[in-house]
Amino acid sequence: MGSASAHPQKPVKSVVIAGGGTAGWMAATALSHLLGKSLSITLVESKDIGIVGVGEATIPPIRTFHKLLGIDEKAFMNATQATFKLGIEFQNWREQGHSYIHSFGITGRECWAGEFHHFWLRAKEYGFADEFGDYCPELVAAKQGKFATSESMPLNFAYHFDAVAYGRYLKTLACDAGVMHVEGDISQVNVCEQSGNITSLTLADGNAIQGDFFIDCTGFKGLLIEDALHTGYDNWSHYLLCDSAVAMQTELAGPPVPYTKSVAHSAGWRWQIPLRERMGNGLVYCSRYMSDEQAIDTLRNEVVGNPINEPRVIRFTPGKRRMGWNKNCVALGLASGFIEPLESTSIHLIMTGLVRLMRLFPFDGVTQSAIDEYNNKFTSEMDAILDFIVMHYKVTDRHDSAFWQQCQRMDIPASLTHKLALFEQTGRVFLDDGDIFRVDSWTQVLMGQGMMPKQYHRVADEMSEQALKQFMAGLKQQVDNHVAKLPSHDAFLAQYLG
């Protein structure tokens, strides 16, 4: 082990963040608020580069992140036109005309040996089970367009917000906390010949920004992690066929609902994300099966409300960097990889990457063990999300177009093959630590997409038929009573945000 000390590591006192956007400003805000006393932080961003800013939906852990940073919910929501999100409605995924909701809640109640769906499957055999989702308050509230936050009856929720405004809001917090903001285009990333570490960024005006540690938030380009450090990229387009998106905003045509909509079409899917004053719309598609013109026409024909801006096309290669942390550089956001926006994981991945970096922060210098730990967790998290997303395309009865037929035929990761077989044959879901989607998410989506387990855990038979009937009825009654007391999402927003 002695060799590690042969190259004494340089302590990290200054951090340079390359790129603004959601990832850059999340990093600047988190580091300045949580580690700011011991670091000087500089963020370099170009005046001209726009934020991709289509990802306007989040998942619940963002609330924990905001708490950590002391972000005031009302101030943040007002600054970003935010609405509440209880889940995602999937239309036309299992088959044309079918719809189900993947909500953030816990369905029913579980016991030591089996999750609630085992009891539900048994009740279904007896003929007294309601829809699976009827036992989940978040799902029922979403369906009815209701929402409220209260201590006594908490709902598990996330947000829809304007990602560009979110970046601006965080920028204010970060700059108030002492982050240096430099505007300029990066013309060169300078690397030390001996160590291979990044030493500084040269800007177009000749100015050089020195740093001990660098965070790459330069989007798909990956100026530092890829162009300078040649980290490599795992291309996942054989699992995820969609490689393009077209996005546009429209005026709201009615009160915003508390959930995202995802509507499958012949070559991908379309999203609808309701903000306070506008609707975010987009169409995700595979360019082999749909041209940009067709995508733009389809989106224009299907959006509701007057367009606010022209549709713009975004290209992406689904996949991930071979390492999220290489040398003295960590990539966050699109620079670290992109799976696709289906389950709103982009902002979440920025957040988990940041929390992981801060826990392993190399104050005394970068060590290989910290890099390895970061990358192992990064890989297992990305692999787990890949499984969850691919499952939506694989477990479906759609084969009405060349795209869906290709989804049926395509190979899937071995880990997903195992998860699907396990669920279908035993009704069990066992997850890895890296899996951000819990058992409730897997069961809601798998059964929503049409996969019913062939058996349930026999622990459900320990309950008599009468007791099971009462148990199920009691749970449903609780959910109905809870949701009946809630105001409409719109009314709650007006009252809560004034």
Please write the tens of the pLDDT for every residue from 393-412.
999 999 999 999 999 999 99
Mean pLDDT (whole number) for 228-254:
96
Q: What is the pLDDT of residue 152?
A: 78
Query: What local confidence, expressed as pLDDT, does residue 54 receive?
Result: 58
Range in 54-68, 205-219, 377-391, 480-494 the model is least confident about:
54-68
Domains of the chain (ranges plus CATH)?
12-83+160-237+318-379 (3.50.50.60), 87-153+385-482 (no CATH), 244-315 (no CATH)
Instruction: Report the percentage of the chain scoring pLDDT > 70.
Output: 97
Residue 114 scores a pLDDT above 90 = no
Predicted pLDDT of residue 394: 98
233 φ/ψ angles, rounded to the nearest 5 degrees:
-135, 130
What pLDDT score was predicted for residue 36?
A: 87
For this structure, is 85 an active site residue?
yes
- 435-452 tens-digit pLDDT: 888 889 999 999 999 999
The mean predicted confidence, pLDDT, of the chain is 93
Report which of residues 262 and 61 the model is more confident about: 262
User: Band of the pLDDT at 98, cuts 50, 70, 90?
Assistant: very high
pLDDT surpasses 50 at 4 = no
Quick check: 423 pLDDT over 80? yes
Residue range 297-310: mean pLDDT, rounded: 94
Q: What angle do CA 406, 410, 414 make, to 5 degrees?
A: 160
d(CA 344, CA 436): 12
Band (55; pLDDT cuts 50, 70, 90) = low
pLDDT, position 5: 44
Question: Does the pLDDT of residue 467 top 90, yes or no?
Answer: yes
Confirm if 318 and 220 have CB atoms less than 8 A apart: no
pTM of the predicted model as reported, rounded to 2 decimal places: 0.95
Query: Which pLDDT value is given to residue 1?
Result: 43
Mean pLDDT of 264-288: 96
pLDDT tier for residue 153 given thresholds of 50, 70 and 90:
confident
**How large is the average pLDDT for residues 138-165?**
92
Q: At 242, is the pLDDT very low, low, confident or very high (cuts 50, 70, 90)?
A: very high
Among 37, 85, 146, 454, the one annotated catalytic: 85
Residue 84: is its pLDDT beyond 80? yes
CA separation for the pair 364, 361 (Å, rounded): 9
